[in-house]
Amino acid sequence: MKRELMAAVSMAAVVVMASPSSAQQSGTFRSAMRTGCVEQGTLHTTCGHRLDETVLQGLVHIKWTGEGVQPMLAESWATPDGGKTFTFKLRSGVKWHDGTPFTAKDVVFSLNLYANPKVASPWGVKLSSVAGYDDFKSGAASELRGVKAIGDDTVRIELSTAQPAWVELQLIAISIVPEHILGKVPPQDIVGNKFWINRVGTGPFIWKEYQSDRFIEVVRNQSYFLGAPKLDRIVYQIYKDVPSIVTALETQEVDAMSYEGGGIPVSELSRLQKLQHLTVLPKFNAGLPTYLQFNLADARFADARVRQAMLYAIDRSAIIETIKGGAGELSNTLFPQAWARPESGMESYAYDPEKARRLLKEAGWSSTKPIDFIYYYSDQMNVDTITAVQSYLAAVGIEIKPRLLDPAAINQVYADGKFEMGFFAQGMGLDPSLGEPLVKCNAKPLSLGYCNPEVDALFAKGMSSADRKERAAAYRAAAVVLNREVPKGWLFNEVRPLAFNNRVEGLPQHFKEQPLVIFNHAVYNEVEKWTIKK
């Protein structure tokens, strides 16, 4: 009896362990995704926009090279008046995944949905240049005056002021949703609507199944307008924390790293680089400047010399070499894009604790109570960085008390006006204009008392042209001012190490050509051409 039992148990064990992992099934690309990106819907999330590369789509998507846009639902567009009016010719013959034809009505509906104050979408601000946006927002109008359908296949959009780069900078954030489905939903019920867990789009892949905290499965759309995808399906696997994703990359349970959440920890990089099946990109530019955040309304931080002193007090090069394993670069101003920074003429804030003490003395710094120092990133590298910062500042007589808080609590601190100092980052790799909320006069909650009309004017100038050279001139001038006035304590431009499985042909190749992480926007990376290597 005992022997039979033992035999049965061992046989069961062998069966359980010996079954081949079906993660090797050909035709399936598995992509890691963090939790909390799906259920609220595209109009109310940030990380969920990767689903808008495959299921829903926009009129245009930013290209994976970071330069230029790919026409998607818009076949072409023209702006004869230099960026005040755009006429979009929509792609013909496109059908939603449920067979309904896609028309201009869907575009008008979608733009109005984003801007609708009752929908309360934080992305609506991308349409703030559209004529009639302020009236719509205040309730004086019931729709966007500047968006009109002309027939079934043309949409005309009028802006309140000319912005030649509006399509490349703002429209890329907008996804087109089906009017025939969401048109029936009251605006305040759009967020978290059941549509978002069973989406109908126009993209290369059709939503098949969603299981909460597990995965989203999307399958090939045979009638996709850029050609039927070669992949059978994509499975977005949902993970709560980064170490599980890194493990899954190693065991080949997942093919692509998610870039939310910090990328591959520095300590894991050398181990992953030894693996044959992975392409590791250890210095992938995250387009993420990290900085010390100051509340300039607090008398202690109002004097620029105090803020400058803190930068001189911290040996940022040493932190990069030791804690960050050589990854990342020093940042001395807001913009991570090299083209938005001047070649020279900026203070480098090289480590000089003597100078720091001198500046503090000049500014009349007196050690009062410790500073309440808030931070959000809890991974080991950033925690170590903050510990180092604390120690460097203490050496010149500044005492900070670091406190880890989650997003809800942090936003509450801002709202209560109790914010003193902290360690933060801003995902703005796509374009320097994305840094504006950090330094614009009266921009809540992030400009925290900094106001320089010259900087505001330079940002406006940067948006008034589509020419890279003209824009660069404006941002470079702003970079110099921000470098001198230090409204934030510029620390580093971060990297986000990523890894991709070589068996997905097209995946590592496109990411190698991508210059930086493009957060929160749908990116066109030719996913319909990717295949699985046999």
Segment 195 to 224, residues that bind another protein, using CB under 8 A: 209, 211-215, 217
Q: CA triplet 335, 241, 199: central angle to 5 degrees? A: 85
Segment 119 to 158, residues that bind another protein, using CB under 8 A: 120, 122-123, 125
Give the phi and the psi of residue 13 in degrees, each rounded to 5: -60, -40
- Specify the residue, 90 or 491, whose C-beta has the smaller distance to another protein: 491
Among 247, 267, 317, 387, the residue binding another protein under the rule CB under 8 A is 247
- Specify the residue, 186 or 453, whose C-beta has the smaller distance to another protein: 186
520 lines the binding site for another protein (CB under 8 A)? yes
- Specify the residue, 238 or 507, whose C-beta has the smaller distance to another protein: 238
- Contact (CB, 8 A) for 359 and 298: no
- Specify the residue, 351 or 414, whose C-beta has the smaller distance to another protein: 414
C-alpha neighbours within 13 Å on the C-beta side of residue 33: 27
How far is the C-alpha of 397 from the C-alpha of 365, rounded, in Å? 9
- Contact (CB, 8 A) for 207 and 55: yes
- Specify the residue, 127 or 320, whose C-beta has the smaller distance to another protein: 127
Segment 400 to 429, residues that bind another protein, using CB under 8 A: 405-413, 415, 424-427
SS3 321: helix
How far is the C-alpha of 530 from the C-alpha of 30, rounded, in Å? 12
In angstroms, give the least distance from the CB of 189 to another protein: 7
Beta bridge partners of 31: 236, 256
1 lines the binding site for another protein (CB under 8 A)? no
Give the helix/strand (H/E) hosting 525: none
391 lines the binding site for another protein (CB under 8 A)? no
How far is the C-alpha of 436 from the C-alpha of 128, rounded, in Å? 14
Among 7, 8, 10, 25, the residue binding another protein under the rule CB under 8 A is 25
In angstroms, give the least distance from the CB of 151 to another protein: 33
> Near another protein by CB under 8 A, which window of 59-67, 241-249, 307-315, 490-498?
241-249
- Specify the residue, 81 or 189, whose C-beta has the smaller distance to another protein: 189
- Specify the residue, 138 or 367, whose C-beta has the smaller distance to another protein: 138
273 lines the binding site for another protein (CB under 8 A)? no
- Specify the residue, 359 or 532, whose C-beta has the smaller distance to another protein: 532
The position carrying tokens 């019920």 is: 189
- Long-range contact set of residues 508-514: C-beta below 8 Å, sequence gap at least 24: 508/279, 508/281, 510/64, 511/64, 511/279, 511/281, 511/284, 512/279, 512/281, 513/64, 513/65, 514/64, 514/65, 514/66
Q: What is the 3-state secondary structure (H, E, C) of 170-189?
A: CHHHCCECCHHHHCCCCHHH
C-alpha neighbours within 13 Å on the C-beta side of residue 3: 0
In angstroms, give the least distance from the CB of 121 to another protein: 8
> Near another protein by CB under 8 A, which window of 3-11, 23-31, 341-349, 478-486?
23-31
- Contact (CB, 8 A) for 530 and 231: yes
In angstroms, give the least distance from the CB of 211 to another protein: 7
- Specify the residue, 313 or 463, whose C-beta has the smaller distance to another protein: 463
C-alpha neighbours within 13 Å on the C-beta side of residue 440: 13
- Specify the residue, 6 or 299, whose C-beta has the smaller distance to another protein: 6
Q: What is the 3-state secondary structure (H, E, C) of 65-123?
A: CCCCEEECCEEEEECCCCCCEEEEEECCCCECCCCCECCHHHHHHHHHHHHCCCCCCHH
Q: CA triplet 28, 34, 37: central angle to 5 degrees? A: 100
Segment 47 to 86, residues that bind another protein, using CB under 8 A: none
- Specify the residue, 8 or 299, whose C-beta has the smaller distance to another protein: 8
Segment 300 to 319, residues that bind another protein, using CB under 8 A: none
The number of residues that bind another protein (CB under 8 A) is 71
253 lines the binding site for another protein (CB under 8 A)? yes
93 to 122: interface string for another protein, x by CB under 8 A: ------------------------xx-x-x
How far does CA 242 lie from the centroid of its chain? 17
233 lines the binding site for another protein (CB under 8 A)? yes
- Specify the residue, 57 or 426, whose C-beta has the smaller distance to another protein: 426
The position carrying tokens 């070649």 is: 343
> Near another protein by CB under 8 A, which window of 96-104, 238-246, 377-385, 498-506?
238-246
Segment 432 to 451, residues that bind another protein, using CB under 8 A: 434, 437, 443-446
Among residues 308, 314, 278, the alpha carbon closest in space to that of 294 is found at: 308
168 to 197: interface string for another protein, x by CB under 8 A: --------------------xx-xxxx---
Beta bridge partners of 531: 505
Among 16, 140, 276, 442, the residue binding another protein under the rule CB under 8 A is 16
277 to 296: interface string for another protein, x by CB under 8 A: --------------------
Beta bridge partners of 423: 292, 375
Among 15, 140, 142, 274, the residue binding another protein under the rule CB under 8 A is 15
